[in-house]
């Protein structure tokens, strides 16, 4: 092979790796819009499964490929570039509802169809990469272009998503890089490659045109925005594609949504403009500023602590992630003139800022909440945490990290309170109500850990028909005001240190789990064994264990099975759907990879058998090594970098980029020195994990650019060594 041929192989490997990683990231975003759930673990499983299947295929036809290596390489490239638009179009054209997969047999077959067509591009792409190793080229160079392409593919989609929808980002990446693909291959064989290019472009254009024409990338009918758009005179006022999700502002005749409203409220509710991210309701904007029309804001459970500072304009309140104008207007109608709102989403922050541009007493700050807690020198009389953080871009929250409700974060909030300040947190009271219980458990742990005196006298827990509001004060909360207010507003007291049993359940029936007995047990001396024996996971969340929404335990499964399986997708156990899908993927891996591999090994002679087993074990261990290094780093760096998407992209980019450099330079380092360097790898990994915790304590307030550079420096040493083939 000459230098031009080397360039062609390396280029095809680079761009194949690029497209595979880009496709993974963009499919996660497309799934969020189309299915109502990102199913990120499923997408990663599909990519890994395709990788494994390609290895099995190569094992069976390797001899044939080696005889006609060039022809196979060109054919594989053609199949890969053609499989992407065809698979994508068929996935969109054939409807699937994963929420019905448990009881509708038809959905199982549709999922199987989707599964097969989506794994094909990952299989054909991985086959190109595997075939690249059959060329007589340095393996270190092939690893370099493979990992460098993957690293680039982890970053470009993030940039494009600031300007384009996931569909158009995928379209731009696809057509740009298939052009480069075929230009590289034209060096080898012009006539056949040019024919392949024409066929691919023609079929791809048809697929993408039909996708756009038939509006196949539409929201699931079960998403909140679908209901809103079915109302009379529905209109989308604003649309913005962002890496965090597609933001839309919708108005419609009769469009109203109010959480935790008292059932005895008899006034009118004005028409609202609702904000959606990926089709899920995440905030409310009100056109009216008339106090009479906004009276309903005083009758929600989250408004309860505002009564303690009503008509005291000198008081200062802090609103965490208000996601609209509703929380700010509540402060205004309660007579508070000094309002600070922290909004982490910069696009939503700009909308809120525009809404209150004429009011100088309202300060909108676009920053991470934890960063603000660390740097603020102000003291607040009320810190109100919005309910809207619980509207995620997917119904499965249990896999999402949340650093706002950890023990450490709650203590940082507590330190921002004035001498008689109050923290107010509103959560859902919908069955089983574990959301509220878990945050109560975290507050008790915080008070115990940091020595808050007589904290049980400073806690108030009230509920409406569908929300609960938990208050933690710096001082004891007065009994008389609380009783009169709950009677006036029609709310039940779940806990106050003076509460008597005859005062329970005045307006609502006691929940099976969210009740006075559960709360008093968590407050008692037997708290630890009680939490351990509780049917759900209600352990306090910490910065080292930030899975606030994860409530699943083996005991939970018994509770699910004792009810109807059809009940599964519509509450906090929605992660069961994901477990079923990933289990199916693992079973497919066993059938499509492990069994054929064992059959292939059994046909080999003893020496060949040992060689194959060593090869399987080698790549198995490499894959697991990257998995167990990347996942903890991604999880740990979410708090430091501020957003999961930043942590995921930067860690993946850094690991792949520096591993590719390590692979490239490894051929220039003598083997004995490589062994010495690799022996230091476990120590470097341990140091990096401890360093992340240290970074969160002292550098959380640093600029984003500084954080990215620090992250690159942190990951570089271990990734370089892991790149040694």
Is 568 domain-assigned? Answer: no
Considering only CA atoms, which of 169, 171, 150, 167 is closest in space to residue 16? 150
Last residue of a domain, one of 190, 218, 246: 218
Half-sphere exposure of 12 (CA within 13 A, CB side): 33
| Tokens (6 digits) for 339 | 């309002």
What is the structure's pLDDT at 549? 65
Q: Is 50 part of any domain?
A: yes
Does residue 512 fall inside a structural domain?
A: yes
Could you tell me if 314 and 441 lie in one domain?
Answer: yes
What's the pLDDT at 397? 44
Q: Are residues 196 and 320 in the same domain?
A: no
280 in a structural domain:
no
Domain of residue 97: give its range: 1-218
The answer on 454 and 321 residing in a single domain is yes
Same domain? For 74 and 198 the reply is: yes
Looking at the fold, whether 537 and 622 belong to one and the same domain comes out as no
Provide the sign of the torsion angle of the four alpha carbons 127, 128, 130, 134, taken in this order.
Answer: positive
Residue 133 and residue 212 in one domain: yes
**CATH number of the domain enclosing 318:** 3.40.50.150
228 vs 273: CA distance, rounded Å:
10
Instruction: Based on the fold, state whether residues 519 and 668 are members of the same structural domain.
Output: no
Tell me the C-alpha distance between 510 and 433, whole Å: 11
Regarding whether 513 and 367 lie in a shared domain, the answer is: yes
Would you say residue 604 lies in a domain?
no
Residue 678 belongs to some domain of the structure: yes
Residue ending a domain, among 189, 218, 247, is 218
339 and 449 together in one domain: yes
Same domain, yes or no: 681 and 534: no
Domain boundary among 170, 196, 218: 218
Backbone dihedral region for residue 79 (phi beyond 0: left; psi -120 to 50: alpha; all else: beta)? alpha
656 with 541, same domain?
no
Same-domain pairing of 332 and 418: yes
How many CA within 13 A on the CB side of residue 15?
Answer: 21
Distances from the Cα of 485 to the Cα of 373, 478, 491, 654, angstroms: 31, 11, 8, 55
Whether 408 is in a domain gets the answer yes
Round to whole Å and give the CA distance between 277 and 247.
Answer: 5
Q: According to the 3-state scheme, what is the secondary structure of 130-153? A: HHHCCCCCCHHHHHHHHHHHHHHH
**Residue numbers in the chain where pLDDT is lower than 50:** 390-399, 566-573
**Domain for residue 577, yes or no?**
no
In the 8-state DSSP scheme, what is residue 504? Answer: S
The structural domain count of the chain equals 3
pTM of the model: 0.83
């Amino acid at each position: 092979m000459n230098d031009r041929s080397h360039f062609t192989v390396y280029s095809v490997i680079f761009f194949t790796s690029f497209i595979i990683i880009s496709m993974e990231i963009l499919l996660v975003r497309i799934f969020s819009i189309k299915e109502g759930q990102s199913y990120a673990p499923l997408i990663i499983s599909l990519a890994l499964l395709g990788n494994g299947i390609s290895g099995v295929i190569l094992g069976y036809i390797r001899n044939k490929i080696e005889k006609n290596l060039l022809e196979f390489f060109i054919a594989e490239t053609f199949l890969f570039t053609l499989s992407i638009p065809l698979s994508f179009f068929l996935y969109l054209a054939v409807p699937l509802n994963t929420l019905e997969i448990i009881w509708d047999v038809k959905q199982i077959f549709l999922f199987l169809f989707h599964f097969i067509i989506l794994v094909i591009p990952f299989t054909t792409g991985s086959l190109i990469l595997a075939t690249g190793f059959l060329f007589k080229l340095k393996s270190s160079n092939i690893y370099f272009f493979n990992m460098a392409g993957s690293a680039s593919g982890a970053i470009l989609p993030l940039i494009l998503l600031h300007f384009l929808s996931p569909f158009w980002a995928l379209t731009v990446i696809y057509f740009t890089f298939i052009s480069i693909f075929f230009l590289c291959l034209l060096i080898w064989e012009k006539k056949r490659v040019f024919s392949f290019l024409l066929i691919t472009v023609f079929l791809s254009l048809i697929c993408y045109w039909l996708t756009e024409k038939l509006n196949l990338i539409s929201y699931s009918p079960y998403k909140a925005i679908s209901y809103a758009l079915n109302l009379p005179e529905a209109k989308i006022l604003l649309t913005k594609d962002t890496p965090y999700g597609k933001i839309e502002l919708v108005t419609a005749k009769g469009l109203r949504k109010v959480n935790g409203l008292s059932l005895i409220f008899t006034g009118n509710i004005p028409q609202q403009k609702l904000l959606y991210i990926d089709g899920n309701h995440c905030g409310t904007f009100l056109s009216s500023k008339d106090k009479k029309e906004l009276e309903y804001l005083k009758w929600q459970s989250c408004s309860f602590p505002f009564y303690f500072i009503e008509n005291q304009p000198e008081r200062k309140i802090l609103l965490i992630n208000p996601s609209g104008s509703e929380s700010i207007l509540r402060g205004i109608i309660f007579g508070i003139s000094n309002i600070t709102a922290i909004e982490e989403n910069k696009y939503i922050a700009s909308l809120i800022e525009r809404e209150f541009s004429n009011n100088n007493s309202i300060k909108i700050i676009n920053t991470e909440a934890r960063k603000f807690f660390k740097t603020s020198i102000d003291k607040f009389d009320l810190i109100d945490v919005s309910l809207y953080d619980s509207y995620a871009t997917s119904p499965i929250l249990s896999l999402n990290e949340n650093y706002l409700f950890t023990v450490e974060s709650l203590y940082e909030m507590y330190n921002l309170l004035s001498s008689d300040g109050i923290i107010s947190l509103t959560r859902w009271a919908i069955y089983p109500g574990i959301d509220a219980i878990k945050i109560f458990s975290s507050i008790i742990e915080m008070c115990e850990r940091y020595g808050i005196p007589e904290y049980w006298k400073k806690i108030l827990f009230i509920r409406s028909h569908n929300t609960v509001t938990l208050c933690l004060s710096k001082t004891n909360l007065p009994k008389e005001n609380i009783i009169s207010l709950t009677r006036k507003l029609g709310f039940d007291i779940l806990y106050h240190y003076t509460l008597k049993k005859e005062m329970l359940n005045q307006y609502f029936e006691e929940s099976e789990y969210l009740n006075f007995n559960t709360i008093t047990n968590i407050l008692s001396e037997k708290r630890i064994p009680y939490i351990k024996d509780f049917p759900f996971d209600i352990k306090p969340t910490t910065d080292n264990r930030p899975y606030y929404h994860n409530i699943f335990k083996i005991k939970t499964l018994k509770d699910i099975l004792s009810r109807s399986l059809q009940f599964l997708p519509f509450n906090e156990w929605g992660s069961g759907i994901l477990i079923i899908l990933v289990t199916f993927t693992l079973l497919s891996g066993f059938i499509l990879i492990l069994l054929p591999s064992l059959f292939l090994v059994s046909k080999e002679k003893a020496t060949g058998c040992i060689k194959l087993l060593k090869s399987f074990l080698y790549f198995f261990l490499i894959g697991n090594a990257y998995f167990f290094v990347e996942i903890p780093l991604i999880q740990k760096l979410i708090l430091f970098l501020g957003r999961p998407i930043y942590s995921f992209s930067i860690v993946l980019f850094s690991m792949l980029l520096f591993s590719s450099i390590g692979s490239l330079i490894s051929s220039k380092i003598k083997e004995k020195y490589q062994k010495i360097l690799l022996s230091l790898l476990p120590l470097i990994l341990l140091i990096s994990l401890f360093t992340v915790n240290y970074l969160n304590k002292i550098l959380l307030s640093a600029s984003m650019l500084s954080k990215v550079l620090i992250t690159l420096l942190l990951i570089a040493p271990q990734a370089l060594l892991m790149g040694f083939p």
